[in-house]
Amino acid sequence: MQDLAGRTVLITGASGTVGTACADVFLAKGARVVLTDRVAPASHLTTHPDVQFLQVDVTDRAAVGAAYESALGRFGRIDAAVLAAGVEGPVALVEEISEADLDRVLDVNVKGCLFWMQACLREMKPRGGGSIVALSSISGVVGSASLGAYTLSKHAVIGLVRAAALEAGGDGVRVNALCPGPIDSDMMRRLDKALSDRDPQRVRGQADAAKALPLQRYVSAGEVARMAAFLCSDDSGSCHGGTYMVDGGFTAR
């Protein structure tokens, strides 16, 4: 199942917890992988013979386009893309969000997703096939107090996915949103601390926050990566324009 042998998959945010997990899972399933980020991922990835690493900032539209062309020069085509680059933004009430903080979150989480999606669509649509998986969040479908900028950006990603899906389906390109719950990661540990500092009822950090999930634990990056692999594979051939939750049951409420 989910055999990706001979496929080329592009992963943005490759140095992050989810990006690294995706790279490991896709390589294990036989794919060739193009990794992009501002900083290099783990050395076991950059030295792998089936990996190309391209240092690029997702907010730089020209650099994104050049990186995509470089990947095509190496592998000939991009069969699927996992757009995982993202930042959490400020922990602040809505009325406290600064314009600078908002711009940064939207630049990375929304514009960065758009720029890579545009590069993919321009190559995939004329070829008549491909799969794009954009990382949103549970914060893309529900509100998150003290995370207004992040919530705004992740709702926008789902809107972008739906628009692209309506446009690209007739050309054989599938576009979906993947929405993880809280992931056991450095980003979540930073958020746990910041949110616990603001909320005296959340003083135990992850131990308390995990209780909000029916499974009583945070999501693993590997679980998110395996769902991404499914959405990039032929096994998900009719999955298009959807929002796929990997959230331990959080949004079942």
Token pair listed for 112: 């960065």
How far apart are alpha carbons 222 and 228 in whole angstroms? 10
Backbone φ/ψ region at 130: left (φ over 0), alpha (ψ -120 to 50), beta: left
Three-state DSSP state, 72? helix
Active site residue 150: yes
Please count the other Cβ atoms lying within 10 Å of the Cβ belonging to residue 130: 22
Identify the active-site residue in 68, 150, 218, 244.
150
Q: Are 6 and 234 in contact (CB under 8 A)?
A: no
Q: How many CA atoms lie within 13 A of 51 on its CB side?
A: 24
Residue type, 199: D
For residue 115, give Cα distances in angstroms to 49, 79, 86, 191: 27, 17, 13, 27
| Alpha helix segments (H runs only) across the chain | 17-28, 43-46, 61-75, 99-106, 112-127, 148-168, 186-198, 206-209, 221-232
| Residue that the structure tokens 């500092």 belong to | 197
Give the tokens for residue 170: 């007739």
Q: How far apart are CA 43 and CA 187, in angstroms?
A: 21
Residues known to be catalytic: 150
